[in-house]
A and B are shown apart, each in its own frame.
Chain A
Amino acid sequence: MITFDGVSKRFPDGSLAVDDFSLTIPSRTTTVLVGSSGSGKTTLLRMINRMVDPTSGRILIDDEDVAGLDPVKLRRRIGYVMQNSGLLPHRTVIDNVATVPILEGVKKSEAHARALELLDTVGLDRGLAKRYPAQLSGGQQQRVGVARGLAVDPNILLMDEPFGAVDPLVRDELQQELLRIQRDLSKTVVFVTHDIDEAFLLGDQVVILRTGGVIAQAGTPAEILANPIDEFVASFVGADRGKRSLHVDPAHTSGERGERVLVDGGGRAVGILRDEAPAPRSPGAVAP
């Protein structure tokens, strides 16, 4: 469990990134911090592993104040995945994944064996192990980033817009992959994004932030969709534009089996209404 207790952060230039922020992040679930730029979401994330120290307030991991922990030791037991993978360009994929275990004194052969298993976990071909990051696609680099984040088998995984720089198809694939990994491993994931759809897909708990790290609304995706607390949230999730209220449009109902086409408040066809939920997508079935 991660607890923010009245946390504020004022940067040396005087700007107040986060003001009196309090939140509890339950263990073994995914919490998504979502907001536009300037909402302080990345600052909040980076306070958990002490990449940023708060000006006031406390951050507790399982009731232990992180301010009293050695930053290096703390960071080594927390996985961190960032937007542009942050891979070391001069090291191969396998060396990148094994970096922290080797720093922690794990034997190289053991660390490499574990790194190969992690490539399986994130859905990468083991044949890529000796490649350099520059030889991988953006999506592959992000997978390596996730594998590296998991390398020390951390309880906590911090993800800072990890899928922000890849194209939509690959992003979709990576999101499904993360859901699958989370089903298997049940980490405490803190995920930062500006994409509300991504937040609703991945988050058990979604925290919508206004400028300055103020919580506009926190809850499950269903709670937020059903009851946007104010106009800001309604606008952020797209409810005010009718994006979230769907109806069956008789004019569009067609096809041999009489598929009922769903249309959103803006008149845009968004999908087909079925009586049964589709079978869960297996990762391999994802479009290329």
Chain B
Amino acid sequence: MNSLLGALAWLGDPVNWTGERGIPVRLLEHLGITSAAVLVAAVIAVSLGLYIGHTGRLSFLVVSTTGALRALPTLGLLVLFALWLGVGIGPVILVLVILAIPPLLAGAYAGVESVDRGTIDAARAMGMTEWQILTRVEIPLGLPIIVGGLRSAVLQVVATATIAAYLPIGGLGRYIFDYLPLRRFEPVFAGAILVTLLALVLEGVFAALQRLTVPKGVRILQGSPAARGGSGRARVELASGSPAATAHAQGASGPPQRRSDSVSAENSTSLPTQ
């Protein structure tokens, strides 16, 4: 406890109390640390997850890393890295990257893995290259799950980024770590509340983003199983302005298409062909 108090005592330097250490600056610092860590982790884990999902190779990595990396104590790791690399932003980003890798890796892998094998087979059979299969079929269809991994990573990192203040780097954790030893609990609580609010806002943003990334054709498939059989009901649901239909106005069917129902279309062979 004494070493902690010592580090915090250093943090109690009046320089850190000035106006430019105010909430907006701390918030931006917190977001900056979070996005830097998630970005670095995404470059590593999403590319690896996409590769594993597409090729089916190295899939043991997903199971082992997600399990093992999650078991690591973040604060202990931070101290270790700080002793090794020296105090600075480096160790913070490093531990947060390690924290963010498992959900990102699992999300990217599971996203690609979730795509129907028949769809991929058809894409290959019609002459898509492996890269085109990945970018035009697997990523668009797996995106909701990939974004789900991102959502989970952001949530964990934004909450844990508080420990950046431990080293001491910026971020909202500074209010907690700076004021706790002074037994000034007001700023400590304020810091905790700010971190919680930020996490909740980001959670909401990413939940919405995740919903938006469901391709329209897939949403129809999931939303109304009846649509598969081409019944009129599915069309009515669509035409009546469901969120799916309104969100993608450019793809939504216009009035003439709404009128043509599947039964007449199925028999349209009798129509003169141009």
Contacts and interface: CB of A to CB of B under 8 A. Distances in A.
Instruction: Say if A and B assemble together.
Output: yes
B230 A288 contact: no
Interface stretch (B33-41, B156-164, B197-205, B252-260): B252-260
B234 interface: yes
A120 B274 CA distance: 7
B229 interface: yes
A73 interface: yes
Given A80-B122, A92-B251, A103-B132, A133 B217 contact: yes
B217 A170 contact: no
Contact of B269 (A100, A128, A136, A284): A284
A108 interface: no
B226 to A, nearest CB: 10
Contacts of B263: 288
B218 interface: yes
Interface residues of B, number: 48
A286 B127 contact: no
Contact of A134 (B121, B140, B217, B269): B217
Nearest to A137: B230
A86 interface: yes
A120 B265 CA distance: 11
B269 A286 contact: yes
Contact of A89 (B215, B268, B273): B215
Nearest to A77: B127
A211 interface: no
A89 B90 CA distance: 44
A286 B266 CA distance: 11
Contact of A127 (B118, B260, B270): B260
Given A80-B126, A177-B269, A284-B269, A140 B121 contact: no
B240 interface: no
B238 A72 contact: no
A139 interface: yes
A41 B113 CA distance: 28
Nearest to B262: A137
B16 interface: no
Given A124-B265, A177-B269, A137 B229 contact: yes
Contacts of B140: 90
A134 B122 contact: no
A121 interface: yes
A100 B122 CA distance: 12
B235 interface: yes
Contacts of B265: 124-125, 127-128, 140
Contact of A90 (B218, B235, B264): B218
A127 B257 contact: yes
Nearest to B223: A134
A134 B221 contact: yes
A46 B126 CA distance: 12
Q: What are the 3 A-B residue pairs with the smallest beta carbon separation, nearest first?
A: A86-B122, A284-B270, A137-B230
28 contacts: A72-B127, A72-B128, A75-B127, A80-B126, A85-B122, A86-B118, A86-B122, A86-B125, A87-B119, A88-B119, A88-B123, A89-B116, A89-B119, A89-B215, A89-B218, A89-B221, A92-B217, A125-B271, A127-B257, A127-B260, A127-B265, A130-B253, A130-B254, A135-B220, A135-B262, A148-B126, A284-B271, A288-B267
Interface of B: 116, 118-119, 121-129, 132, 136-137, 140-141, 215-218, 220-221, 227-230, 234-235, 238, 251, 253-254, 256-257, 260, 262-271, 273-274
